[in-house]
Structure 1
Amino acid sequence: MTGPEPIRVAIVDDQALVRTGFRMVLEAEPDLRVVGEAGDGAAAIELARSTGIDVLLMDVRMPGVDGIAATAAVTAAERAPRVIVLTTFDLDEYAFAAIRAGASGFLLKDARPHELVAAIRSVHEGEAILAPRITRRMLELFAADLPAAVPDRPTELDALTAREREVLAAVADGLNNTEIAARFHLSESTVKTHVGRLLQKLAARDRVHLVILAYEHGLTSGRRSGSTPAR
């Protein structure tokens, strides 16, 4: 009996040495398969169109078509692969723009091999991207670019229950399912159910999209609540 199909990954970076390093890491994993590489955004768009890809690792700063434009083009297509944006430790603004363009999250370029692999698997499964707190920090940094919430204006958040709004705020604070369960004294399976309902009710792509929606609607202050339980 054959096992599940490997996750098909493509690597986009203008530095050949970086692509080679990522490929060596990924090809050492039995459930991952590198199906293509590209050195710029234009080539990435064509690669996504012509090749069956599950997860695309996308560099941001590239000559010609950059990672932002390429991400928007790739994710706008039908049955688009999930995109992980590769960024530097300084949380540059281009990575934020790429997430708004449709990326499922982002990863630091100096991530350790096991972190890279875990991020790809998480994104492929539709779960939280690696290091959700980094997502939160980036959104905090660029909160001024988000539209201000307008009180009393009907929004899609009105369809949420009180508990779902609490879970959404916790997701925006960067908590994972285990931490949310501890905060609200719930089982992890219950939290997973709540997150699934949030994704469905808000027509969100993934948890990163939930974070953006929470910030856009003023559901979080961008600061970790003092009620977080001690470890």
Structure 2
Amino acid sequence: MTSVLIVDDQHLIRTGVAAILRTSPDFSAVTEAADGEEAVAMATEHRPDVILMDIRLPGCSGIDAAERILALSLTPQPRIIILTTFDVDEYVYEALRVGASGFLLKHSSPERLLAAISLIASGDMLFDPSVTRRLIEAYVPRQCGPSPRTAAVLEQLTAREVEVLRLVGRGLTNDEIAVALVVSEATVKSHLHRAMTKLALRSRAQAVVLAYEAGLMGQVPRQTGQVEAVG
């Protein structure tokens, strides 16, 4: 059973989404907040599994509220879906940057909404890898190597962790990375978990953003003595 917090300043939208969720047996609790500040307070009090967060909120924006909530390190950590009427690339990039797990337009069907929440609650992301790459390439300046800001950060990683991070940036799944590096999927998960822990990343989406910001997508794979088939 999944608990959900709905954050939207439009009462009609908020109550409409809540009504849809309350008709489904898959959700144990549905709470509501009308602005970013209230969202932070409600997330702290109710510890929802998933938060549907509008972007344009009075005072504290949805992006800022999402960042503040994720910084609280709540247990369990809520997974955030940015819910908006604005199909604007910049918002998707900002949602990725702060660690949101999905992006959904308000004109989506009720069936799509329910499926999206279930997907996010199970630990997946709601971003198409090809779209993610296009967005980040548009908003991150092209570099031929790591920027001074990220070079020191990358020095914390082993060669294999850097390789895994680069392939995550390309949009590959753990299984696809395992095939490319000729290792087990469990090994990939272990490398990725250690890399994200060292870099203080909260989501795979943030790992994708960092891979681009660090200039890894233009680098030649570092040799570690194992065969690679990444093309």
TM bucket normalised to smaller: 0.7 to 0.9
Alignment correspondent of 2:41: 46
Alignment correspondent of 1:155: 152
Give 1:113 shift: 5.3
Alignment correspondent of 1:141: 138
Q: 1:32 to 1:215 in 2, by over 3 A?
A: same
SS at match of 2:125: coil
Q: 1:164 to 1:114 in 2, by over 3 A?
A: farther
What pairs up with 1:166-205 in 2 under 5 angstroms? 166-205=163-202
- Paired letter, 1:43: E
Give 1:93 shift: 1.8
SS at match of 1:86: strand
SS at match of 2:147: coil
Using CA pairs under 8 Å that are at least 6 residues apart, name the structure with larger relative contact order, 1 or 2. 2
**TM-score (norm. length: structure 1):** 0.73
What pairs up with 1:44-193 in 2 under 5 angstroms? 44-79=39-74, 81-87=78-84, 90-100=87-97, 102-109=98-105, 110-111=107-108, 116-117=113-114, 119-121=116-118, 123-124=120-121, 127-133=123-129, 134-144=131-141, 149-150=146-147, 154-193=151-190
C-alpha separation in 1, matches of 2:195 and 2:7 = 31
Query: Contact 2:66–2:100 at 8 Å: present in 1 too?
Result: no
Query: Contact 1:26–1:33 at 8 Å: present in 2 too?
Result: no
SS at match of 1:65: coil
Alignment correspondent of 1:211: 208
In structure 1, stretches of 5+ residues that fail to align are 1-5
Q: Deviations over 1:54-102 (max 9, x none)?
A: 22111112334321232233233341633222245733423433443x3
Alignment correspondent of 1:3: none
Shifted more, 155-164 versus 108-117: the winner is 108-117
**TM-score (norm. length: structure 2):** 0.73
C-alpha separation in 2, matches of 1:65 and 1:37 = 16
Identity of aligned residues (%): 42
C-alpha separation in 2, matches of 1:199 and 1:129 = 16
Give 1:122 shift: 5.2
Query: Contact 2:8–2:33 at 8 Å: present in 1 too?
Result: yes
C-alpha separation in 1, matches of 2:58 and 2:49 = 25
Aligned CA-pair RMSD: 3.5
Q: 1:17 to 1:152 in 2, by over 3 A?
A: closer
- Paired letter, 1:13: D
Give 1:17 shift: 4.2
C-alpha separation in 2, matches of 1:189 and 1:47 = 36
Give 1:11 shift: 0.9
- Paired letter, 1:160: L
In structure 2, stretches of 5+ residues that fail to align are 220-228
Q: Deviations over 1:11-31 (max 9, x none)?
A: 112334433453355445544
Q: 1:194 to 1:88 in 2, by over 3 A?
A: farther
Give 1:44 shift: 1.6
